[in-house]
Structure formats: C-alpha cells, structure tokens
C-alpha cells in the first residue's frame, strides 16, 4: 500500500449512517419531543418502519449490535407485548401512517416464533396504512431458518431477506463464535426462494481473526455462487470498550490496517469477477438490481440500513435502541430492554436521546450523503467552508480527493477512504472525542 494511504486506513471515522452521528445525540430529545415530532407528520408523509428484535439464541463474539442472548420464553413474550403497546402509541400520536417500507433487524428477527412474528405484522397492518408497502425486508440468521418460518415470512408479505454470512472458513468461524457451514447458507437461500422470497442480500466481513486472502476469496466465491442480488461487505469494528463480548476475540489475531484493506480488495475483486458492480464504498449488486440503478442515476441514498435505492420522508424505529429519523431530527429509544419496556408499559415513549436538526446540520448531511453515494459534490458557494477546503489540501496531496474550484471528487482508487473525506465536513467530529471504527 502507498504509505500515504496507510495512515488514513488506521484512522477512526464514523460510518455516517446519520449526521450528526449517534455519539452526538443528547437527552434534550425525550418522549415529549418525539411525540410532538410524530404529530407534525402529515397524511402524505411516506414512512419506513424499523422493528428492532433485541434477542438472539446465542451471541456471535464480533457483534456490535444492541442484542442479547436469551433461552427463556418469558423475556421474548414480554418484549412482544410491549412492542404491541409501542406500535399503538406511535400510530395514535403520528399525523401520518402511510408505510412504504418495513424492515426487521436485530439481534435476530427469526429468533421470534412464526406465531409471534405474524401477530406483530397483523398489529402493524391494523394500526398503519400498508396499502402502499413496497419493500418488506428482514435480517435472518441462516442457521435458525425453518420451513415454517420461511412460509410465514412469505405469507406476511416479506419480499427481501438479508442473510448474515460473514465468513465461510471454519477456522475463522471458530475464532468469532459463529459456526455456520456453507451448506446451511445454501439451504436457507433455497428455502426462501422456494416460498417466493427471491430478493436476497448477503453480509460479508473482513478484518476478522485468521482471515487470509485465500480464505476470503473462497468465501466470496462460494457466496457469489448462490447469486444473491446484493452484498454488503463490512469491516469488523473491534470495539471491546463498547461490547464486552468482543473481548472473547483474540486481538492479536486481528489483521492490521494494511492487511484489512488488502482483504477488502480481495473480496471486491472476487465479487466484481462474479458479475457484481460496486455500490458506494461497501456494497455490491447485480447490474439489474434497484440499488445499482439508483447508483447509476444519482439517486442512491444512505441511512441506518446502509446504501439504499430510495428513502422515505420519515423512518420510525420500534423496539429498544432503535433510532427514528424524522424531518425534525433523530430520536433513539432506551437501549436497555428493561428500561424500554418499563416506559412503554407505563404509557410514555421510550425515547432516551436524540438530536434536533438545524439548517446547517441538514446542509452538511446532504453534502456528506452525496459525497459517500456519488463520490463527488459541487459546492456552488464556498463561503462558510474555508476551513473545510483548507483541510482538504493534504488529502489532495496524498491522492485521496480532487478539488477543482467548488467541485470535490473521490477517485476510484481512493473510494475505500471516502469516509475520511466526508469527515472534513463533520463539525461535530471536530468538536468531540467519540470513538469510532477504523476507516477501512
């Protein structure tokens, strides 16, 4: 690697699924504020609902999500009951209920029984207008997917599924606490397609312990042989200060910055050779997929689901730790399941913190969005951005970015470092000391 780039690969920078990013949320946004924001939505507002299922049957050591292992039925039953109350409260408070997208994440959404999953869907259909629903997506653990679950998902209108593949090397799987043979992934994909859920996405990871170029190449080749529509390729974020379970991973076995970038390149080369086109800086898709069309036409968006082909006017998060993105700002629920459930059952919104957006926040959010989605942007009036253009000078000298007047572009060879360029426009990052994952 060019030594000029290596220093950037070692930087810690936000993923920018929001701006400002979550570490800069504060408690000035509470349940009262969130209720007011909901009431200000209109009947024409297009809504994306996100349901966070916080439970897994067993925890993977690499996981940085708000999720917990559970083996008893009682906590799950209590969660489902509280979720129903939250659905009712949101629907009652919201000035708009027209849902265009529904996403399930976690945790492990298919840790729910088919009966409980269907009951939640029926509650949503009862309280929201689902007549315009276009995308109904769910994240799945292929190890748990049963025939009954697949049939239930199809019956409930699920039309897109994301499978957590991560890595298919047995040695790497043992080092991250997730044993998952290729055959299990293949069977899950076949099961979903057999019931009519044909739009599939796979998650892959690099930067895991004991990964080699040969192992990640084989993983990518095996995964691509199943022909999912999309891939999301994430760098493992080792943040044991944030998630204690990551202390089970041998930090000495983790690749360094240069090796991480090389592993990511190997995965990308393998997927491109298999017919997938790069989307943003960490997604890949078949050329006919909607996300690929959005990238070609300049309509690609980025939110908490990553790079997406369209964005609704409002995203409403349900469940513990979920984040809502409303026109007025961000609102995040209590991360603790117990605290979330206690507030919901008491008849109040479980909003813990958030961030009201001002005009400057929105302007910078748009700049960062376009830079990460299109790898270029035009600042017609540079007044007020003198600091940013000065900060870009060393990045230009190192080849990360090109600047021509007010036009800023990231060349193809530097796109893995796009977040480093985006960070220049992040005034909150300059002011704070939040800890983030590596740039690559």
Kindly tell me if the per-residue pLDDT of 359 is higher than 80: yes
Distance separating alpha carbons of residues 307 and 294, to the nearest angstrom: 10
Average pLDDT over residues 156-171: 98
51 and 146, same domain (yes or no): yes
Q: Tell me, yes or no, whether 378 lies in a domain.
A: yes
**Higher per-residue confidence, 342 vs 6:** 342
Average pLDDT over residues 65-85: 92
Average pLDDT over residues 400-429: 93
Rounded (to 5) percent helix, strand, coil in the chain: 40, 20, 35
Q: Supply angle C-alpha 209, 215, 216, rounded to 5.
A: 85
Average pLDDT over residues 154-168: 98
Average pLDDT over residues 294-312: 91
Distance separating alpha carbons of residues 265 and 5, to the nearest angstrom: 14
Q: What is the 3-state secondary structure (H, E, C) of 314-366?
A: EEEEECCCCEEEECCEEEEECCCHHHHHHHHHCCCCCEEEEEECCHHHHHHHH
48 and 130, same domain (yes or no): yes
- Give the residue ranges of the annotated binding site: 50, 56, 60, 62-64, 106-108, 139, 166, 178, 203, 237, 323
Is residue 112 packed enough to be buried (19+ CB in 10 Å), middle (13-18) or exposed (0-12)?
buried
Torsion sign across C-alpha atoms 105, 122, 335, 68: negative
Residue count of the chain, please give it.
Answer: 440
Residue 430 pLDDT class (50, 70, 90 cuts): low
| Cis ω for the linkage preceding 99 (within 30 of 0) | no
Average pLDDT over residues 229-238: 93
344 and 404, same domain (yes or no): no
pLDDT of residue 431: 59
Q: Tell me, yes or no, whether 137 lies in a domain.
A: yes
Other C-beta atoms closer than 10 Å to the C-beta of 427 total 16
Distance separating alpha carbons of residues 203 and 223, to the nearest angstrom: 10
Residue 436 pLDDT class (50, 70, 90 cuts): very low
Kindly tell me if the per-residue pLDDT of 437 is higher than 70: no
Matching residue, tokens 């043979």: 181
CATH of the domain at 148: 3.80.30.20
Q: Tell me, yes or no, whether 221 lies in a domain.
A: yes
Is residue 360 packed enough to be buried (19+ CB in 10 Å), middle (13-18) or exposed (0-12)?
exposed
131 and 224, same domain (yes or no): yes
Matching residue, tokens 């209109």: 42
Residue 308 pLDDT class (50, 70, 90 cuts): very high
Q: Tell me, yes or no, whether 168 lies in a domain.
A: yes
Matching residue, tokens 């060393």: 394
Q: Return all residues near 399 (Cβ < 8 A) that are at least 6 apart.
A: 2, 4, 5, 411, 413, 414
Q: Tell me, yes or no, whether 206 lies in a domain.
A: yes
The model carries a pTM of 0.93
CATH of the domain at 420: 1.10.10.920
Residue 100 pLDDT class (50, 70, 90 cuts): very high
The encoded tokens of residue 152 equal: 């239930």
Contact between residue 320 and residue 52 where contact means Cβ atoms under 8 Å apart: yes
Torsion sign across C-alpha atoms 179, 285, 153, 150: negative
Last residue of a domain, one of 328, 356, 384: 356
Kindly tell me if the per-residue pLDDT of 434 is higher than 60: no
161 and 112, same domain (yes or no): yes
Last residue of a domain, one of 291, 323, 356: 356
* pLDDT cut 70: percent of the chain above it: 97
Distance separating alpha carbons of residues 204 and 270, to the nearest angstrom: 12
128 and 223, same domain (yes or no): yes
Min mean pLDDT across 31-35, 59-63, 105-109, 350-354 is at: 59-63
pLDDT tens, residue by residue, 260-279: 989 999 999 999 999 999 99
> Angle, nearest 10°, between helix axes 73-93 and 114-127?
10
302 and 390, same domain (yes or no): no
Contact between residue 352 and residue 28 where contact means Cβ atoms under 8 Å apart: no
**Higher per-residue confidence, 174 vs 382:** 174
Which of 172, 184, 174, 171 minimizes the C-alpha distance to 141? 184
Classify strands 306-308 and 301-303 as parallel, antiparallel or unpaired: antiparallel
Kindly tell me if the per-residue pLDDT of 380 is higher than 90: no
Average pLDDT over residues 28-39: 98
Contact between residue 363 and residue 385 where contact means Cβ atoms under 8 Å apart: no
pLDDT of residue 211: 97
Min mean pLDDT across 74-78, 196-200, 254-258, 360-364 is at: 254-258
Last residue of a domain, one of 336, 356, 376: 356
pLDDT tens, residue by residue, 184-224: 999 999 999 999 999 999 999 999 999 999 999 999 999 99
Matching residue, tokens 């026109």: 327
- Give the residue ranges of the annotated binding site for S-adenosyl-L-methionine: 50, 62-64, 106-108, 139, 166, 178, 203, 237, 323
> Angle, nearest 10°, between helix axes 73-93 and 337-345?
50
Distance separating alpha carbons of residues 120 and 158, to the nearest angstrom: 13
- Give the residue ranges of the annotated binding site for [4Fe-4S] cluster: 56, 60, 63
310 and 379, same domain (yes or no): no
Contact between residue 164 and residue 142 where contact means Cβ atoms under 8 Å apart: yes
Kindly tell me if the per-residue pLDDT of 163 is higher than 70: yes
Is residue 44 packed enough to be buried (19+ CB in 10 Å), middle (13-18) or exposed (0-12)?
exposed
182 and 60, same domain (yes or no): yes
DSSP H or E segment with residue 118:
helix 114-127
Residue 432 pLDDT class (50, 70, 90 cuts): low
66 and 123, same domain (yes or no): yes
Give the number of domains in the chain.
2
Which of helix, strand or coil describes residue 131? coil
85 and 185, same domain (yes or no): yes
pLDDT tens, residue by residue, 282-300: 999 999 999 999 999 999 9
Which of helix, strand or coil describes residue 352? strand
Classify strands 230-235 and 283-286 as parallel, antiparallel or unpaired: antiparallel
Classify strands 160-166 and 199-206 as parallel, antiparallel or unpaired: parallel
Q: Tell me, yes or no, whether 4 lies in a domain.
A: no
Q: Tell me, yes or no, whether 440 lies in a domain.
A: no
**Higher per-residue confidence, 248 vs 437:** 248
Q: Tell me, yes or no, whether 70 lies in a domain.
A: yes
Q: Return all residues near 141 (Cβ < 8 A) that are at least 6 apart.
A: 56, 57, 108, 110, 111, 164
269 and 246, same domain (yes or no): yes
Domain span holding position 406: 359-431
């Amino acid at each position: 690697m060019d030594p000029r780039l290596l220093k950037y690969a070692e930087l810690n920078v936000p993923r920018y699924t929001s701006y400002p990013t979550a570490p800069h949320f504060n408690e000035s946004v509470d349940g009262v504020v969130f209720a007011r924001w909901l009431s200000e939505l209109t009947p024409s507002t297009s809504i994306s609902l996100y349901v966070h299922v916080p439970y897994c049957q067993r925890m993977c050591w690499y996981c940085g999500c708000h999720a917990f292992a559970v083996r008893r039925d009682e906590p799950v039953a209590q969660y489902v009951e509280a979720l129903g109350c939250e659905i009712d409260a949101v629907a009652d408070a919201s000035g708009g209920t027209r849902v265009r997208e529904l996403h399930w994440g976690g945790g492990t959404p298919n840790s729910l029984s088919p009966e409980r999953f269907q009951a939640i869907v029926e509650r949503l259909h009862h309280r929201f207008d689902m007549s315009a629903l276009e995308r109904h997506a769910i994240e799945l653990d292929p190890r748990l997917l049963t025939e009954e679950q697949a049939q239930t998902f199809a019956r409930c209108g699920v039309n897109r599924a994301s499978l957590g593949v991560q890595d298919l090397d047995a040695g790497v799987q043992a080092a991250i606490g997730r044993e998952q043979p290729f055959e299990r992934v293949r069977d899950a994909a076949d099961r979903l397609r057999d019931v009519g859920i044909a739009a599939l996405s796979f998650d892959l990871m690099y930067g895991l312990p004991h990964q080699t170029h040969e192992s990640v190449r084989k993983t990518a080749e095996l995964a691509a042989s199943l022909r999912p529509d999309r891939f999301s390729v994430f760098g493992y974020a080792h943040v044991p200060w944030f998630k204690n379970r990551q202390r089970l991973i041998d930090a000495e076995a983790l690749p360094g910055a240069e090796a991480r970038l090389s592993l990511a390149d190997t995965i990308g080369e393998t997927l491109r050779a298999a017919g997938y086109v790069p989307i943003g800086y960490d997604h890949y898709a078949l050329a006919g997929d909607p996300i690929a069309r959005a990238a070609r036409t300049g309509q690609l968006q980025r939110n908490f689901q990553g790079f997406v082909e369209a964005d609704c006017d409002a995203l409403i998060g349900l469940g513990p730790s979920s984040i809502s993105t409303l026109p007025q700002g961000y609102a995040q629920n209590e991360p603790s399941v117990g605290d979330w459930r206690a507030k919901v059952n008491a008849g109040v919104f479980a909003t813990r913190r958030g961030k009201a957006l001002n005009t400057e926040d929105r302007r910078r959010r748009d700049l960062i969005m376009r830079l990460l989605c299109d790898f270029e942007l035009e600042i017609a009036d540079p007044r007020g951005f003198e600091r940013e253009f000065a900060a870009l000078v060393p990045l230009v000298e190192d080849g990360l970015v090109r600047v021509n007047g007010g036009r800023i572009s990231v060349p193809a060879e530097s796109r893995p470092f796009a977040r480093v360029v985006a960070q220049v426009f992040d005034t909150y990052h300059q002011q704070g000391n939040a800890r983030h994952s590596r740039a690559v």
